[in-house]
Structure 1
Amino acid sequence: MLLSTYLNWASVLLTIAGAESDIDPWDEVSSFLQGKLRKLDVTNPNAYDMNDNEQDATFYVSMDYHEEEERSEYESVWQYYNENSDQDWHKSVYDKLLVSADQFNNTEAMYKLSQINLWGQYGYPHNKSVAFQYLQKFNDMTSYENSSALFDLAVAYSTGLFGTLPVDVARGLLYFQRSARLGDLKAKQVLAYRYFSGYSVARDVDKALLLYKEIAEEIKKKYSEEQWNMVFPYIESYIVRIPDFDEGLLGKGLSTVPQSVRRKKTTRPPFAGSSNLKPIGDVGYGEVVMQFKFNAGNGNPGSFVISDSEHEDRLVELFYTAWDLYKGTYTRGRDCDKAKRLLLQVYKTYDAEVKYMDNLQKFFYVKSLDLLAHMYFTGEGFERPNVQAALDLFDRSEKILEGAEISRTASEVDKGLISQYYFNNTLGALKHYKKAKESGNAHGILFYQLGKLSEKNPELKIGDPYLYMQEASSQQYLPAQYEFAKMVESNELRKYSVEDITRLYKAFVEENENIMAPHLRLGFSELLGGSSEVSLYAYAQAAEQGYEAAQISAAYLLYQLPYKFDDPPETTIERKTMAISYYTRAFKQGNTDAAVVAGDIYFQMKNYTKALSLYQSAALKFSAQALWNIGYMYEHGLGVEKDFHLAKRFYDQILEHNQKLYFAVKASVMKLQLKSWFMWLNGKELDNISIDQEQESTVVRPFFDRLVQLLKNLSRETRGDNKKKNQHRILKEKKTPSQGIMERFGLQTEDLLTMVCVLIIFAISMFFRTVAPRGQWNVRINGVNIAGGNALGEEGNPENENEEDDENDDEGRARARNNFGFGNNFDVQVFAI
């Protein structure tokens, strides 16, 4: 490879240059890099000023992949560093790392070079081949005793780094096992997932359970007793499928998998003011203080106005802004400090104006106080928790809402926790928990605490601790997931299988992504920053660990299905194969849409047998799109014998699962029926007709696809496009002497018949609607009168109709018969097929 040759040549020059010195430059380089930013996290709120109005993630993912473009981009970055004096340190540091690694065999320099090229650290360009070179060298020099480097090497062999080297799943598994023996939790998770799913190993649920349980116990040790029992840390989740930001894999209305996007910017109620808040003072991001003033018009101290008339509900917006800062979104991480400062300023500014507020403003002011009290209680945004300040704010909120029946579940839970853990008042805590439970919007932590209390105090008869813990676990409260798994495992009376218990531990392990998969956040950040290849590697790591969302994201970055009438993406067969692998693994974890997409990729590759197999598997999971695809394959004989009866059966089954597709299904069935009639009229056999997988057939591509492709080719001929690929396509079509006009447009005889029938029906309809009023005909379609007056006569009376018939003279009727040859009463029946 040209790039590898260039680097080897550069390494030789650096070795010669460094031969004059006997000092390893590693210490100098290491000290210098400590002062540099390793990686810019664009989701970090302090990274740079972001637009508050941006609600969703916005990123660009190229559908095509060319190694030449990757090489050109890599060289352009280095050229930029060489031509700009302020970037001289990049080349100097990299040269010294090469000298340290190649001349002095410094393993730390080797590992640093592998990470720099693998993750694009310190602004260096990403290069998978160079990263693998130094990663392999590092492991050789360290006798394969570094668990982290072994994990990276295992991922490299398992994925082939997407075409950089041959995929060797067995070798990757060997390195995963060695890394796991050295204590790497991520490697253990990979093995647990593979034993549980049976991927590349014999399925062994017992081994999977042991591994997941071992990992879960290690995770639990990383939390303090206070965190585990009272206030579990908030985790900013990045377990999200990338295509879900664009309505899922199959699009709106067709996906059968729930959306994974959760942490969007909070949707404001319709009465809320604008979110374009301008900074005031030192508060910063989107924080505005609205000023209440007495209405000078009537002098009534009980009424007030807001200084900015355009934002009458600014207090509502202030709360939601603070809430977004507190919880964070995908594009902007948590910023508890700014949330705290905003809430404190709201409290100081408006507390004296409560008596002038209306009910809506009081409600959101109290929500702001409750959030601030919660932050005092947990210590988020403060140096340490302040329980007394939290209680004071809770009391203030209750006083403001005195007499109002408003649910405050979160505040009641917080007060219950304070009573239980700070004052050891179990009865007081139960009182608050009961109020929270009665609100109907109880949180997982509430049931978790009730479960612990009922187990510790059976004499209070609080309830079944097992059921409480089960409910808390179902709400994905992490400590409850672990505790419930332990309870199920130790209770032989409960009918839970080993596989069910394994799933509970697996869910707990995966939800602790801050420990097990911090690279999910890094991958998303890199995608936002435009480094899709670095993002792909991050998602591939998580995909190997068994994260279904990461498997979808990695597959999506590797290969995206083209839009209608677009050409298929240009990429390598290795990336396409890896995408199919990840989609298939995601399907085995319950993502039905993934099987449909994997089948579509096989379909594009004209491997109809495998495509049909995946469609059938997805159809068993009630996928409407899969059922339609199977019907289409039977209709056209793709990989199966052509069978219109089976095709209609699959089309009809779609309506059993998705009634919204009624018209699309009926249109498909109508076309199928017309084709069946035509083939019957021509004496053709309907069944036992199949198309070979290698055969290029016009049936494979619908008429509109071929029409668009024809227009593209004509435009290329007009422009004089000299691209070899386009010329090859044009020449290939010109070499076919038997192509007539119909073949050139991709038309079949039955397609023409279908269009003719539709036109005839349309013409008949227009004829009746135009001519019937002139001839005073009574025309009914499916019993509904469309011409000649009311079907029931005037005023809906049947007798009026008879009277009108009697008034028609014989001369008019004879004239109608003489002119048209039939009477003037028509009852047309149109049947839906």
Structure 2
Amino acid sequence: MPPKLFLSLLTFSLLTLSVAARPYVLVLSQEDFKDEVPADSDSSSAEWDEFGDSDSHKSEEDLDPGSWRQIFEPSTTDPQSQSQSQSQSDTDALYYSAVTKLMTGDARIIEEGSGEIETAAESGHPAAQSVLGFLWGIGLFRERNKQKAFVYHHFASEGGNMQSKMALAYLYTRQDMFDKSVKLYAELAEVAVNSFLISKDSPVIEPVRLHNGAEENKEALRKSKGEEDEDFQILEYQAQKGNAAAMYKVGLFYYFGLRGLRRDHSKALSWFLKAVEKGEPRSMELLGEIYARGAGVERNYTKAFEWLTLASKHHLYSAYNGIGYLYVKGYGVDSKNYTKAKEYFEKAADNEEVGGHYNLGVLYLKGIGVKRDVKLACKFFIVAANHGQPKAFYQLAKIFHLGVGFKKNVPLATALYKLVAERGPWSSLSRWALEAYLKGDVGKAYMLYSRMAEMGYEVAQSNAAWILDKYGERSMCMGESGFCTDAERHQRAHSLWWQASEQGNEHAALLIGDAYYYGRGTARDYDRAAEAYMHAKSQSNAQAMFNLGYMHEHGQGLPLDLHLAKRYYDEALEHDPAAKLPVTLALTSLWVRKNHADSLLVHIIDSLPGVYPKLEAWVENVLLEEGNATILTLFACLLTVLYLRERQRRQAVVVAGEVAQPNRPNELGVPAPI
């Protein structure tokens, strides 16, 4: 009997995956510190140029050259976007035309776009080279070739393309080539940090997981419908009626592209200004950010300082960080003043604003206006990191990368850099993919998630794989000569699930096990199925524990061992009480197998795999939903077992008068009949 059957009704409850970011708590011991802290060094070193002349003045398009933003978020009011559109070269125009065609879902037009990308790439266009590397990697209208994909990503990376650097960094990490991946992730994380806000923390916009186990994640998707969402429409109505808090929230949603809204800095600016007129202080802080960054408006540090100062007077303590930053840089103020900067950072920290801890850490790490103290800096960073401050992760990554204050740990540095790098400007791909999915454009969503999957985003890997499995031909999967065959889709989904499982996705590991167990998209291999289930089990997945118990019970890919089978069944119940019914039935099956090894009932149970497909089809189409057929069948088996137990008990009573027999414990722990 396939291991999936006993838990077919429990898939949703057992495999629910969190949409939120995984907690990343740093707990460091004295052993992690170096015995000696390096003496004071030149605080202007480029290695620690957090407050120096960085790229924070650049636009998102400058930080992510070749970004698809002008395709998915065209702006007619942003002065930066307008000037960039007017200065496009012919090759740029060809590149954006080609990318647009790749998103159409029309095989003929996609093939045309593929050819245009190749033409632009041959002219040395880094962004086109990056996309061509992606096309070679997935085998779109060309035979899949990992070597050519690597070469084009290498050229694009050398030309400054950030998305190719993400792809190469992830590729090196998968191969444990941390010395190479850490350098790329360090550069990418720095760009990501420069795109963050200067005062308050940017909201962590995690990619939405389209599925909960095998089912669509309807609740998360409902909250991401943007302007079509009923809650947003109510909020916008309240804002239009003059509610200041609603104005601020609407502006926030547009500024960051939250809740599935298309990001629009100009609309955000308009709503923030309206909210300020109503006395809404939080909008003052965001206006300071907008003017400091020049998002949807001409950059003006003097106005930024004024708005942040107004916000701080309304007890918005995060604004102190922005004011301190401007004093460190000397922007919008008379001159640089490290003493004032430290005072503002301390005010923020004293009021439990984690950004203040981070900024103080930078001052002590670099010795800006204070005596350099690496250990004290690390303590500030750890406090900030354990409250989810992404900039603190970045500084700790640098510390572990270079071995400053802590022992050098390149793999940990790589993981921390990656965590920050994935929040860079290129993460906008996730918003656009979700927007396409919600509008029913599954093919465009799949293409965008596939692009992110290549860059190492685990959620994108599982989303792309799920789309392939869920939608089949509707996924618009393109292969070497057009639409993917079933075998190509299975193979591609298998590869994506495997990558997601490597990054800790327990549901992905479970599906890999199922693929090997059933021979879906690959040759049937019980040994590899057991390995995948073991991987999922290590992440406390109850379904995987149940499956391992089943495989031990039947000797499939694992030694035949009824006691180990019982142990795994018990573990499944311990980790998920909802598994009580299927585990009880499984333990009943074990009892039958132990006490009636060669009986007809055992042969009936073992024959269920052959009978199940026909029974399942009948039940699904005629009687019940998928999975209930197995429960009914096993319930009948349970009744039979109870009958046999009762008959055995009666025979024991008759024999007891003639031969005294000691009671034997129920070794397999099957619940006694009532």
Give the TM-score normalised by the residue count of structure 2.
Answer: 0.65
Question: Are 1:466 and 2:466 an aligned pair?
Answer: no
Shift in alpha-carbon separation, 1:748–1:323, aligned structure 2, 3 A: closer
AA paired with 1:670? T
Give the count of matched residue pairs. 538
Contact 1:119 1:126 in 2 (8 A): no
**TM alignment of 1:783-822, pairs within 5 A:** none
Matched, 1:556 2:441: no
Corresponding residue for residue 168 of structure 2: 191
One-letter identity of the residue aligned with 1:205? F
1:409 to 317, 332, 335: 317
Query: What is aligned with 2:182?
Result: 209
Tell me whether 1:631 sits opposite 2:549 in the alignment: yes
Q: Which residue of 2 aligns with 1:699?
A: 608
Matched, 1:118 2:117: no
Taking the aligned partners of 2:441 and 2:434, their CA distance within structure 1 comes to: 10
Matches within 5 A, 1:481-520: 481-491=393-403, 494-512=406-424, 514=425, 516=426, 519-520=429-430
SS at match of 1:276: helix
Shift of the 238–170 alpha-carbon distance from structure 1 to 2, 3 Å rule, reads farther
Which residue of structure 2 aligns with residue 173 of structure 1? 150
1:397 paired to 2:314:
yes
State the Cα deviation string for residues 573-617 of structure 1 (Å, max 9, x = none): 111111111111122122222211222333343625232221111
CA deviation string 1:318-356 (max 9, x = no partner): 44334434433142134444444444444445x6xxxxx
Q: Aligned partners of 1:332, 1:684: CA distance in 2, in Å?
A: 63
Write the distance in 2 (CA, Å) between the matches of 1:205 and 1:260: 36
Q: How far apart are the structure 2 equivalents of 1:152 and 1:146?
A: 10
Of the three residues 443, 448, 451, the one matched with 2:361 is 451
Instruction: Compute the displacement of 1:646 (Å).
Output: 2.3
CA displacement at 1:389 relative to structure 2: 4.1
| 1:627-646 deviation digits (Å, cap 9, x = unpaired) | 12222333455555654332
Q: Where in structure 2 are the equivalents of 1:667-706 lying within 5 Å?
A: 667-684=581-598, 698-700=607-609, 706=614
C-alpha separation in 1, matches of 2:151 and 2:297:
47
Give the residue type in structure 2 aligned to 1:154. G
Code of the residue aligned with 2:164 in structure 1: it is A
Decide which moves more: 573-582 or 379-388.
379-388
Worse overlay, 231-240 or 482-491: 231-240
Equivalence for 2:139: 160
Code of the residue aligned with 2:249 in structure 1: it is: Y
**8 Å contact from structure 2 (residues 129, 156) kept in 1:** yes
| Equivalences for residues 19-58 of structure 1 within 5 A | none
Contact 1:249 1:597 in 2 (8 A): no
1:328 aligns with 2:257: yes
**Higher radius of gyration, 1 or 2:** 1
SS where residue 458 of structure 1 aligns?
A: coil
2:233 & 2:633 partners in 1: Cα distance? 58
Q: Which residue of 1 aligns with 2:566?
A: 648
Q: Is the 8 A contact 1:373 1:389 kept in 2?
A: yes
Deviation sequence 1:381-432 (CA, Å, 0-9, x none): 654341564266347636xxxxxxxxx4324434544565536555554444
Q: Which residue of 1 aligns with 2:198?
A: 231
Q: Deviations over 1:94-122 (max 9, x none)?
A: xxxxxxxxxxxx999986775453233xx
The one-letter amino acid paired with 1:710 is W
Match for residue 535 of structure 1? 445
Residue correspondence of structure 1 range 570-589 to structure 2 within 5 A: 572-589=486-503
| Alpha-carbon distance between aligned partners in 1 of 2:361 and 2:634, rounded to the nearest angstrom | 68
Task: Name the amino acid aligned to 2:500.
Answer: A
Distance 1:333-1:110 versus aligned 2 partners, 3 A rule: closer
Shift, 1:559, TM fit? 1.8
Partner of 1:288: 240
Paired residue type of 1:190? A
SS of 2:422's equivalent in the other structure is helix
Counterpart AA for 2:608: V
Specify the code of the residue in structure 1 equivalent to 2:546. Answer: W
| Cα distance, 1:196–1:367 mapped onto 2, change above 3 Å | closer
In structure 2, distance between residues paired with 1:391 and 1:138: 45
Cα distance in 1 for residues equivalent to 2:157 and 2:248: 46
Whether contact under 8 Å (2:461, 2:499) holds in the other structure is: yes
| Closer, same or farther: CA 172–599 of 1 in aligned 2, 3 Å | same
Distance 1:685 1:647, change over 3 A: farther
The 3 A distance-change label for structure 1 pair 412 and 584 is: same
Task: Evaluate the alpha carbon distance shift between residue 627 and residue 128 of structure 1 in structure 2; reply closer, same or farther with a 3 A threshold.
Answer: farther
Q: TM-score, normalised by structure 1?
A: 0.54
Contact in 2 for aligned 1:519/1:538 (Cα 8 Å): yes
Which of residues 531, 537, 543 is equivalent to 1:613? Answer: 531
Q: 1:712–1:250: structure 2 CA closer, same or farther, 3 Å change rule?
A: closer
Do the aligned residues in 1 keep the contact of 2:186 with 2:417 (CA within 8 Å)?
yes
Structure 2 unaligned segments of length 5 or more: list them. 1-67, 78-89, 473-483, 624-628, 647-670
Q: Compared with structure 1, are the counterparts of its residues 463 and 289 closer, same or farther at alpha carbon in structure 2 (3 Å cutoff)?
A: farther
Residue type of the alignment partner of 1:231: I
Deviations 1:468-515 (A, max 9, x none): 234445556555444443333333551232212222333343322x1x
CA displacement at 1:134 relative to structure 2: 5.2
Q: Is the 8 A contact 2:284 2:307 kept in 1?
A: no
1:683–1:413 CA distance, 2 compared to 1 (3 A): closer
Aligned to 1:150: 129
RMSD, aligned CA = 5.0
User: Contact between 2:224 and 2:260, CA under 8 Å: does it hold in 1?
Assistant: no
Contact 1:241 1:549 in 2 (8 A): yes
Q: CA deviation at 1:181?
A: 4.7
CA contact (8 A) 1:215 1:509 kept: yes
Offset at residue 649 of structure 1 (A): 0.9
Q: Is the 8 A contact 1:238 1:520 kept in 2?
A: no
Q: Percent same amino acid at aligned positions? A: 23
Alignment of 1:598-609 (within 5 A): 598-605=512-519, 607-609=524-526
Deviations 1:15-46 (A, max 9, x none): xxxxxxxxxxxxxxxxxxxxxxx999677799
Contact 2:247 2:274 in 1 (8 A): no
CA distance in 2 between counterparts of 1:274 and 1:524 reads 17
1:710 maps to which residue?
618
Q: Matched residues in 2 for 1:376 and 1:179: separation?
A: 33
User: Is the Cα–Cα contact under 8 Å of residues 117 and 126 in structure 1 kept in the other structure?
Assistant: no
Distance 2:296 2:96 in 1: 35
Q: What is the alpha-carbon distance in structure 2 between the residues aligned to residue 479 and residue 114 of structure 1?
A: 36
Match for 1:573: what amino acid? A
Q: Which residue of 2 aligns with 1:818?
A: none
Residues 376 and 382 in structure 1, CA contact (< 8 A), matched pair in contact too: yes
Contact 2:253–2:259 at 8 Å: present in 1 too?
no
1:560 aligned counterpart, secondary structure:
helix
| Aligned position for 2:577 | 662
Query: Is the partner of 1:699 in helix, strand or coil?
Result: helix
Q: Verify the 8 A CA contact 1:116 1:124 in the aligned structure 2.
A: no
